[in-house]
Amino acid sequence: MSKSYLLALGIILILLTSCGSEDSDNNEETAKKEHFVNPEEIKRVGNGREGFFFTDLRGDTLFGGRKFWMASEFKNGYSVITEIKNGIQLRGVINYKGEEVIPIKYTEFINPNSRNGYFNFSREGGGTGFIDSTGKIVFQPIYKSSKGGIKYNQAILQNDKEKWGSLSLKGDTIIEFKYSDIGVWYDARVLVKQNNQFSYLNTEGIPINDEKYQFARDFENGLALVKKNGMIGFIDTKGKQIIECQFTDYKTIVDVVENHFADFGFEEKNHRFMLEEGYIIVKKNGKWGYINSTGETIVPIEFDDVAVLNRGSSTVGVVKNGKQGYYSIKEKTYTEKE
């Protein structure tokens, strides 16, 4: 074998080794760049004595190991941070990259439950407003209360006269401040109360119809429960009466969820009048049954009592003539319990 052949072979091996090393370095660098931290996977670690910091799911420390006197869990990509300077608690907000999007300089409380990039902004002793994720104060914390965050480019607020209305992001009045109570936005409609009467407004603050109701509830899936002349019925988002006011009562559906801080470890949430299947439990002429969102009878309104349908089931527990039984929605049959 010639010396020139051996020399050429050696050069090739060196080049291959070098390329392999560069590829390995490039792969490691690419892996580092591709290590994206999902905001929902960021974990808060620490306590009030030693400070709080954040890690990813792999346990790697984020944000250069920066510690905070107080920090909320990340919600919607943001965490509210508190630091103490000269004995004063100052608050701000960081994003999932650890950047201060709202400078840590405010003595006001910042609610971590941000919606659409806006944070409820309140003062100790009273006063609430909103600040956005760029640090701009949208509404000074001078209002008594607020509801539902910022939606449809406006905020529902209560003024110092305890009247409710709404303001646009530019500060223009959309819903006049004259209501004693107000709901939150559902289906681009909001329920308002004035002089013990209820009505609905659209996102421009205009009534959806000319009716005033004795009682009403927020919209659910395009339908709202209303009471007129002592009877209950249902309207759509245009204010049209879809199901005539003919019922004397209805049942509220409640979700029971676990909450270690509540009594008995559970709390009630999401009070509503419509089941997930779109059914409504109503009472007429002293008897109970089910209707759907168009008014069609699902369970005949002829029972002394009816239970709430279990999720995924088509059989309802009922009471008839003082005896327990079952009604099959699928088979449309009643069976008395033995």
Look up the CATH architecture of domain 37-143. Answer: Beta Barrel (2.40)
What number is the average pLDDT over the span 156-170? 97
How far apart are alpha carbons 247 and 224 in whole angstroms? 14
What number is the average pLDDT over the span 153-164? 97
- pLDDT value of residue 261: 59
- pLDDT value of residue 164: 98
What number is the average pLDDT over the span 289-306? 98
The fraction of the chain above a pLDDT of 70, given in percent, is: 85
CA 313-268-251 angle, 5° bins: 55
What number is the average pLDDT over the span 290-304? 98
Say whether pLDDT at 28 is over 70: no
What number is the average pLDDT over the span 68-91? 95
- pLDDT value of residue 263: 66
With beta carbons less than 8 A apart as the criterion, state whether 251 and 232 touch.
no
Please state whether beta strands 118-122 and 109-110 pair in parallel, antiparallel, or not at all (unpaired).
antiparallel
- Type of residue numbered 206: I
CB neighbour list of residue 109: distance below 8 Å, 6 or more residues apart:
91, 121, 122, 123, 124
Any idea which of 20-29, 53-62, 92-101, 307-316 has the lowest mean pLDDT? 20-29
Parse the chain into domains and list their residue ranges: 37-143
- pLDDT value of residue 38: 80
Tens digit of each residue's pLDDT (9 = 90 or more) over 121-139: 999 888 999 999 999 999 9
Say whether pLDDT at 33 is over 50: no
Confidence band for 31, pLDDT divided at 50, 70 and 90: very low
Confidence band for 13, pLDDT divided at 50, 70 and 90: very low
Say whether pLDDT at 107 is over 50: yes
Give the length of the chain: 338
Confidence band for 262, pLDDT divided at 50, 70 and 90: low
What's the mean pLDDT when you consider all of the chain?
A: 89
- pLDDT value of residue 315: 97
How far apart are alpha carbons 27 and 35 in whole angstroms? 12
Which residue, 132, 125, 134, 133, is CA-closest to 107? 125
**Residues 296-322: b if buried by 16+ CB within 10 A, e if exposed:** eebbbbbbeebbebeeeeebbbbebee
What number is the average pLDDT over the span 221-243? 98
Confidence band for 27, pLDDT divided at 50, 70 and 90: very low
Any idea which of 51-60, 140-149, 254-263 has the lowest mean pLDDT? 254-263
The fraction of the chain above a pLDDT of 90, given in percent, is: 78
Say whether pLDDT at 12 is over 90: no
Say whether pLDDT at 152 is over 60: yes
